[in-house]
């Protein structure tokens, strides 16, 4: 709920967490509207590391050409950080901002960022520091509460669908000497991006033949049985797994190469390598692990136009929300792509939105038609102009 109109003199904006293909569009929207309202805005370089090390840049005077180029730039223009925020750092952030004469902080990020925004807002209040904190959402994982889909998800989903489609065609071409591809996609402990791979299907029984979401316990014996069945039917198998899949005891499938890094969020990786080795060992099939890499989240050439435009508008209305007096909230865009609404940071931060049961069939290891109908408007146009042998036989 809006309080009294915020007194805004100097704004700081920070990008945190993982990158996306459209997070800079949100930044551009924020800067654009600050210019329209003749406000000063500064960027913190590499998250709060930049604030604490006095690495801050003035963004107030970017030209229209620079803003357009910023919208077309993937990853994080200001740089991100995985610095672990201790209680001491949470206390120091409002102090440092006050020293710089900054009274407003915009945090662009996911649910972890929104939790941090909430703690920073509370820290400022405890220290009697005048600081307005507001959140602007982004995450390719699409796991944020309170919004239907988050900026970054549509572009990542589109990239994954295209990559899975093309890699599947590649494997089918090579199936006389390579039979199985296990493709691992991002998404952390939710399966929105893994589910999006279903958009790659060129026919109902086509690849990807099996999709596994972290929302459900992974059973190795069942997996091997399904791979064997599909191979006997099709002569090749494409399986997509979310990076956060786990067994019934909650243990991750695969290894975590970042286990020794102290950070707020757990990093997943290694499921595809483990499962490819398992298939080869148990079934004797040639299996290759395929991690779709960081390109999933930052590949600008395949980003969704719908996603980019929405990301920009969310940034733009974030300033509108500040001007209207909102604070300690995350800003979201209404379905009409014009109006905004806000959600309390306490209702978003640290929470996780799972793929609903109506979007996935755990028996067939496939998504439902309802999910595809929901996804297509988000990814935008997704054409298939390929030719297969089935088309001419």
DSSP sequence for 138-199: --TT---TTSSS-TTHHHHHHHHHHHHHHHHHHHHHTTTT--EEEEEE--TTS-HHHHHGGG
Instruction: Scan for tokens 């060992």, then name that residue.
Output: 281
Residues 240, 148, 138: CA angle, nearest 5 degrees: 75
**Distance (Å, whole) CA 177 – CA 283:** 15
DSSP sequence for 300-353: GGG--HHHHHHHHHHHHHHHHHHHTT--SEEEEE-TTSS-EEEEEGGGTTT--P
Whether residue 139 is annotated as binding a ligand: the answer is yes
Q: Is 292 helix (H, G, I), strand (E, B) or coil?
A: coil
The neighbouring-strand residues paired with 42 are 12, 58
The neighbouring-strand residues paired with 367 are 360
217 assigned to active site: no
Whether residue 243 is annotated as binding a ligand: the answer is yes
Query: Are 112 and 264 spatial neighbours (Cβ–Cβ below 8 Å)?
Result: yes
Whether residue 47 is annotated as binding a ligand: the answer is no
Q: Which of 141, 143, 269, 307 is catalytic?
A: 141
Whether residue 297 is annotated as binding a ligand: the answer is no
Whether residue 141 is annotated as binding a ligand: the answer is yes
Whether residue 140 is annotated as binding a ligand: the answer is yes
**Under the phi-then-psi rule, with left for phi > 0, alpha for psi from -120 to 50, and beta for the rest, what region is 230?**
alpha
Whether residue 352 is annotated as binding a ligand: the answer is no
The token pair that represents 184 in the structure block: 């691992």
Residue 120: how many CB atoms within 10 A of its CB? 24
Structure letter (DSSP) for residue 265: S
Query: Are 15 and 298 spatial neighbours (Cβ–Cβ below 8 Å)?
Result: no
Whether residue 113 is annotated as binding a ligand: the answer is no
Active site residues: 141
Annotated binding residues for Mg(2+): 111
- Which residues make up each annotated binding site for diphosphate? 18
Binding residues for substrate, by number, are 139-141, 186-188, 243
């Amino acid at each position: 709920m809006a309080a009294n109109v915020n007194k805004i003199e100097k704004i700081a904006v920070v990008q945190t967490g993982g990158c996306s293909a459209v997070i800079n569009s949100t930044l551009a929207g924020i800067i654009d509207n600050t210019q329209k309202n003749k406000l000063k805005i500064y960027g913190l370089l590499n998250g709060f590391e930049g604030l604490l090390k006095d690495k801050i840049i003035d963004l107030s005077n970017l030209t229209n050409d620079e803003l357009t180029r910023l919208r077309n730039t993937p990853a994080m223009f200001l740089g991100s950080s995985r610095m672990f925020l201790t209680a001491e750092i949470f206390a120091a952030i409002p102090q440092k901002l006050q020293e710089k004469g900054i009274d407003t902080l915009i945090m662009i990020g996911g649910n972890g960022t929104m939790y941090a925004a909430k703690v920073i807002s509370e820290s400022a209040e405890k220290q009697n520091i005048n600081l307005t904190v507001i959140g602007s959402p982004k995450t390719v994982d699409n796991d944020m509460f309170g919004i239907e889909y988050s900026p970054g998800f549509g572009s990542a989903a589109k990239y994954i669908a295209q990559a899975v489609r093309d890699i599947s065609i590649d494997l089918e071409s090579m199936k006389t000497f390579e039979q199985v591809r296990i493709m691992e996609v991002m998404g952390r402990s939710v399966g929105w991006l893994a589910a999006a791979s279903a958009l790659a299907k060129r026919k109902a029984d086509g690849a990807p033949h099996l999709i596994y979401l972290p929302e459900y316990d992974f059973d190795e014996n069942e997996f091997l049985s399904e791979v064997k069945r599909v191979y006997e039917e099709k002569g090749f198998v494409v399986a997509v797994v979310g990076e956060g899949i786990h067994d019934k005891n909650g243990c991750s499938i695969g290894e975590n190469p970042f286990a020794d890094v102290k950070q707020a969020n757990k990093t997943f990786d290694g499921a595809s390598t483990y499962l490819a080795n398992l298939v080869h060992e148990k079934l004797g099939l040639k299996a290759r692990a395929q991690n779709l890499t960081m390109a999933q989240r930052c590949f600008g050439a395949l980003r969704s136009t719908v996603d980019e435009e929405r990301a920009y508008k969310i940034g733009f209305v974030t300033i509108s929300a500040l001007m209207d007096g909102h604070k300690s909230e995350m800003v979201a865009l209404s379905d009409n792509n014009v109006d905004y609404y806000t959600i309390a940071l306490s209702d978003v931060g640290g929470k996780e939105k799972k793929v609903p049961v109506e979007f996935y069939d755990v028996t067939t290891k496939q998504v439902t038609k309802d999910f595809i109908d929901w996804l297509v408007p988000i990814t935008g146009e997704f054409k298939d102009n390929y030719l297969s042998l089935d088309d001419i036989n």
